[in-house]
Each structure stands twice: as C-alpha cells, then as structure tokens.
Structure 1
C-alpha cells in the first residue's frame, strides 16, 4: 500500500525526468517527454517512495523508475537525478531507482512472486485510487526472495542490467509495445528460465514487458 500526499512539488517529477532523459544512452532525443502513466511498489519500511513512470517522447515510449528519499543515499551520487521540494514531506532526493537497493528488492519480489503494483491510498480519500499503469510478475515463488547485493546498474541498448548477487535483473528502458508479453509461463523455482514483469495502460491493446529476472 502506497500513501499518496496531496502536495505541490518543485520542480515537478516530469520536469526532473525531462532533464534526466537526455543524459541517458538509451534515450533518443526526438520529442518532449509526456507522461503516459505510473505505478508504484511498496517499501516495507515506509521510508522510500518507489514510483516508475512511463513517458513518451516522439514515437518512443520509455520507462523511468524513480526512488524518493528523505535523505541522500550513500554512494549513489552518480544516479542522483535531482532534489525537489515536497510541500508535505519537505526536501526529497530523487534517484534513478535502478541504483536503489530498496527498488531492486521490490522489483525482484514482484517478478518472482507474481505481485501486482501497490495500492494507491490518497490522503483524504476514502477509496484507493486506480493506478494508471497496472503490472504483474509472472513468477509463483512461495518462499522468500534470495538475498540480494545489488551492484551498480549498467545501461545501454534500451535496457539497464542490475547484477544483484544470485539474480540478474533487466529493466527495459525503451518499451516495445508491438511485442506481446501476455503469453508467459512461470518458471521453475530454480529460475533456469526468465521471469518477467508485464504492464498495461489505457490505450495499450496487450501487455508489454517491463522487466525480467534470471538466476546468475
């Protein structure tokens, strides 16, 4: 469950994303970013906001995972996107979430156990707010997720690779909406096969692959 505050942000998330995208090797500068939708994962400790944005720029669709922190993340200066003033929570440090261990664990958990996006509970609203992007992992693992020790993410060719101890995660940056991710089968617990996170949003005819995991 994600708690969403009704707040003003300066700069906005999309403004930060627009400054960040041109610095990335997987971004082709062919248009101004526009938001398609977003989904969240939970931080069990409730300290870190985990929100992934799907944006268009020109004819391409990009995936941008962000993590929001109340303090700097040690050793992650290279992946700091910027800071923003949150009218409720104060100053927030915004990171490329692929370098944030809380996000890496949440993503792996969602994929391996077949979880969906976090429920959005907006402050002052009695009913959860629907997510503009819905996601689901293809795994069915009942046990715990292996211990992870994420290394620095490596980006290129439309993806970001995260070696995380026993697991290797791939976050798709340039989304292929023509490929069909709906027909996936769960891998055996040994993880000899790739498991994926698939997502869908309004106007998309079939699910698209957002991320995957395989055992190293």
Structure 2
C-alpha cells in the first residue's frame, strides 16, 4: 500500500478544476488518484477528466510548501489550511517521480484518501520487485508527458524513461510485456485496465 493521503477540508485559489483547465485542457474533473510522499511534505496527485474531444486525460501535479524548480512551477495556490502552496508539474518533481518509479517497480497500489473518497482509478504497478528502495533520483530531460534520468533501484543506479501519456488508453492484448507499467482500473471494471504510465529501463 502506498499509504494514506491526508485530505483537508479547505478552500483553494486557484481551484484544482481551474488548474486542470488552464494547463491541461481538462473541462471537468472526474476525480484523481494519489501517491504519498513518505516524508509528508509533498502532495502527489494526478487529476483526471475529459479533454475537449471527450477522451480521458490525466494531469499529474504536486503541491509543495516551497518552489522546487521554477521551470516546472505551474502556479502558486492559496490553501486555507496549509497556506501558500506551489503547484508543480509532477514529472519535474523528484519526489513524485520517485514514488511513481517505486509504485511501478514494486507492483504497489495507490494511496487511500483520509476522507474516504475513492480514487477515480484503482492503481497497480506491474513490477514484482518487493521492497525495492528508489533513491537518488536525478532528472535529466523533462517534458509534459515524459522524464528521463537516473535513479538507484534497490541500490543499483539505472537510467530510466518514465512516460505518463496525457490521454489514457486501454491496455492492448499485444502490449510489450518487457515494459513495466502503472495500470488503472475503474471501480467495478477490472477487466479493462488503462495504461497510466510506462517505465523503460534500458539495458
């Protein structure tokens, strides 16, 4: 289990809906799924909703008490409980990338919410490395839907490419089984896994 994401009953400005519309073209949020920063500092959330063509889109962000990298800052947010927060594109945030890698490699699931609201998608990584610490994540190239870099996986430094497609697609029957993935299933529809992320580990 990825842990429990603490959810506050708070007023946000701008709202998550406004952020998703402005930066990802998502018209109305269906919900989100979350991972947890073990240090309890960074909020990790992937917002999910339809794009202008009605396709299911996802937009990964983090919420921080201080800016991590101006190149990946989306906006500042006023949070009525936590104060000022910096909203960051998640693929440019090493904490988010670390947890995405760990979830995929270990075959873990997503975080539960402290308020009991279910995630819009039930997550599961396709890896099978139990208790595989992911440390020393260094980001080299970051774009809207992918990041390349290096990380220590179970103590071994590896290059990686992590792709989070903006448009979610169903896993095909002939998918390359050598590629590790983060899959999402709508509650009640376990037979239709959606590809949320793909992890390529060269060599």
Smaller-chain TM-score bracket: 0.7 to 0.9
Matching residue within 11, 20, 24 for 2:23 = 20
8 Å contact kept, 1:181–1:206: no
Cα distance, 1:61 vs structure 2:
2.1
Instruction: Quickly say closer, same or farther: Cα 1:203–1:129, change in 2 above 3 A.
Output: closer
Matching residue of 1:136: 124
Instruction: Quickly say closer, same or farther: Cα 1:11–1:203, change in 2 above 3 A.
Output: farther
Rounded Cα–Cα distance in structure 2 between residues aligned with 1:199 and 1:153 = 26
Partner SS, residue 52 of structure 1: strand
TM-score (normalised: structure 2): 0.83
8 Å contact kept, 1:54–1:63: yes
User: How big is each residue's C-alpha offset from its partner over 1:13-51, in whole Å with a ceiling of 9 and x where there is no partner?
Assistant: 1101211126xxxxxxxxx62212211101000000000
8 Å contact kept, 2:33–2:110: yes
Matching residue within 147, 155, 163 for 2:143 = 155
8 Å contact kept, 2:43–2:62: yes
Instruction: Quickly say closer, same or farther: Cα 1:203–1:130, change in 2 above 3 A.
Output: closer
Matching residue of 1:208: 194
Matching residue within 59, 69, 93 for 2:86 = 93
Matching residue of 2:154: none
8 Å contact kept, 1:138–1:184: no
Matching residue of 1:40: 34
How many residues are paired up?
Answer: 190
Partner SS, residue 77 of structure 2: strand
8 Å contact kept, 1:86–1:92: yes
Could you list the runs of 4 or more consecutive aligned residues of structure 1 that deviate by over 4 angstroms after TM superposition?
181-185, 202-205
User: How big is each residue's C-alpha offset from its partner over 1:142-173, in whole Å with a ceiling of 9 and x where there is no partner?
Assistant: 242454433244437xx423323412211121
Matching residue of 2:51: 57
Does residue 1:198 correspond to 2:198, yes or no?
no
User: How big is each residue's C-alpha offset from its partner over 1:175-208, in whole Å with a ceiling of 9 and x where there is no partner?
Assistant: 224x4479886xxxxxxx2110001225866111
Rounded Cα–Cα distance in structure 1 between residues aligned with 2:180 and 2:31 = 23
Matching residue within 169, 178, 195 for 1:176 = 169
Matching residue of 1:25: none
Instruction: Quickly say closer, same or farther: Cα 1:181–1:85, change in 2 above 3 A.
Output: farther
8 Å contact kept, 1:160–1:173: no
TM-score (normalised: structure 1): 0.79
Matching residue of 1:189: none
Instruction: Quickly say closer, same or farther: Cα 1:90–1:209, change in 2 above 3 A.
Output: same
Instruction: Quickly say closer, same or farther: Cα 1:14–1:143, change in 2 above 3 A.
Output: same
Partner SS, residue 112 of structure 1: helix
8 Å contact kept, 2:34–2:111: yes
